[in-house]
Amino acid sequence: MLIFVVTRKTIMLETHLLKIIENKLKKENLPISVKFWNGVEVTGTNSEIELTVNSPKALRIFTNPTLSVLAESYVHQEIDLKGEIRKMVHILSDAFNNHDPNNWLSRFSRFVHSKESDKAAIAHHYDVSNEFYSLWLDKNKVYSCAYYNTLDDSLDQAQEQKLDHICKKLNLTPNERLLDIGCGWGALIFWAAEKYGVKSTGITLSENQHLYVKEEIKRRGLSGLVEVRIQDYRDIPTQEMFDKIVSVGMFEHVGINMLPTYFKTIYNHLKPGGIVLNHGITTSNLDGGASSSGGEFIDKYVFPNGELSHISRVVEKMSREGLEILDTESLRRHYAQTLWSWVENLENNQAQARDIVGEDKFRVWYAYMSGCAYAFEKNWINLYQILAAKPENGSIEYPLTRKHVYNTNSKL
């Protein structure tokens, strides 16, 4: 008798939820058809997406409709999705982005960024598999926002344009010393050495990246111009100075409370009159933190301990550490285009990707990059290149105009 009562209650609850879902689809004219594990199907208006709910557990996506819950259910195969990816992300983000802007997680730093925890976070994200990243990155393995002259540019072309854009902004000249904090797979330090004759030093916390760059240095015959280290930015020898410093896609890992230490470290290792370029993701939320309900998923599955600040806070903290801001440039639309290119490449190589990292991790990256592409499109997040200098008695050795950045004498 007890079993019968429980089963009956369960059936009643499921029936009630199905009715709520059906009403939501019709009321909001959502183009989604939902298929349930028990054979029931609810169809919205002019459905463009098919969402299959594989078990009662997945009903949480409707009772707690956030992007993080939706993405986690997808990763654990509690739900399946069919449809064109851009349409799916657009429709599902509008339907499931139940975000509370007053959530304390959006307003305060949540993590202690010790050297050990930062290294573990980097390993979680970057030491997945060099082969996996190669399936969807460009030929130079540039894992950061590309720079598009037109939307018809290929990913390879746009990434090389980005490398050259950075080098021109830094106004690199032969034999200068360049430090790249978070050098990835080395594309920028190789470009700077080979195209501009710069002595490049890259630091990373990723074992996979470090090994790859070391092998590439030998293969390219750049032992005299390029070096790579496994090193935390806080461990750079005190006496070591650089003419130019760059950081691309790394400062998101630094932590809001550690930004003063990060920028002070850059200032201390920059020669007087030297130039720094910081290229990183910011939030469009003035209070800091996530501007959508997908932040928890990203922290748990993709970027542990990652934190975003608003551009105004970044400029303030750089200025407080003695760096003079010369220029800022938003690459938000460029990053949306970059991410969609990565998603397309991952789709085209999904069989190989699944073989390398497994179904769950494939779904993590597919959901993460698609969601981020949409977030950049919606201006929930942005990306800025901030150029700054360390003045020497008020003097800065830098061109008065930006003609050198946009001249036609390209190194491409």
The pLDDT tens digits for 330-381 are: 999 999 999 999 999 999 999 999 999 999 999 999 999 999 999 999 999 9
More confident residue, 114 or 9: 114
- The answer to whether residue 224 is domain-embedded is yes
Neighbours of 326 (CB within 10 A): 16
128 and 213 housed in the same domain = yes
Instruction: Give first-to-last CA distance, the chain, whole Å.
Output: 77
**pLDDT tens digits along 134-152:** 999 999 999 999 999 999 9
Better-scored residue on pLDDT, 315 or 4 = 315
145 classed as catalytic? no
Percent of the chain beyond pLDDT 90? 66
Whether pLDDT at 13 is above 70: no
| Domain match, 79 and 177 both | no
- CA-based nearest residue to 294, from 375, 184, 226: 375
Between 33 and 19, residue with greater pLDDT: 33
Residue corresponding to tokens 């309900």 = 293
pLDDT per position as a tens digit, 264-319: 999 999 999 999 999 999 999 887 665 566 778 888 888 777 889 999 999 999 99
On whether both 338 and 388 belong to a single domain, the answer is yes
d(CA 283, CA 290): 7
Q: Are 384 and 280 in contact (CB under 8 A)?
A: yes
Instruction: Give the domain CATH number at 315.
Output: 3.40.50.150
Cα–Cα distance, 310 to 284 (Å, whole number):
6
Q: pTM of this prediction?
A: 0.90
Q: What is the mean pLDDT of residues 90-97?
A: 87
For 159-197, what is each residue's pLDDT tens digit?
999 999 999 999 999 999 999 999 999 999 999 999 999
- How many domains is the chain built from? 2
- Asked if residues 163 and 156 have their Cβ atoms less than 8 Å apart, the reply is no
The CATH number for 77's domain is 3.30.1050
In terms of domains, do 208 and 280 share one? yes
Tokens representing 164? 């050259």
> What pLDDT is recorded for position 289?
60
Domain boundary among 62, 96, 130: 96
The catalytic position among 145, 167, 183, 372 is 372
Answer yes or no: do 119 and 76 share one domain. no
Q: Are residues 135 and 69 in the same domain?
A: no
Tokens (6 digits) for 58:
């997945």
Residue closest to 143 by CA, chosen among 127, 153, 313 = 127
> What is the span of the domain harbouring residue 49?
2-96
Is residue 116's pLDDT more than 80? no
Q: Is residue 108 part of a domain?
A: no
If asked whether residues 375 and 265 sit together in one domain, one would say yes
One domain, residues 92 and 117: no
Q: Angle at the Cα of 140 (from 136 to 145), degrees rounded to 5? A: 65
Within this chain, do residues 200 and 162 fall inside the same structural domain, yes or no?
Answer: yes
Residue 168's nearest CA partner among 358, 329, 373 is: 329
Order of strands, edge to edge, in the sheet holding 41-43? Answer: 41-43, 32-36, 49-53, 79-82
Question: Which CA distances in Å does 381 have to 76, 282, 377, 384?
Answer: 26, 6, 8, 10
Domain assignment of residue 101, yes or no:
no
Residues 11 and 43 placed together within one structural domain of the fold: yes
Please indicate, yes or no, whether residues 71 and 117 belong to a single structural domain of this protein: no
Cα 315 → chain centroid: 20
User: Are 50 and 125 contained in the same domain?
Assistant: no
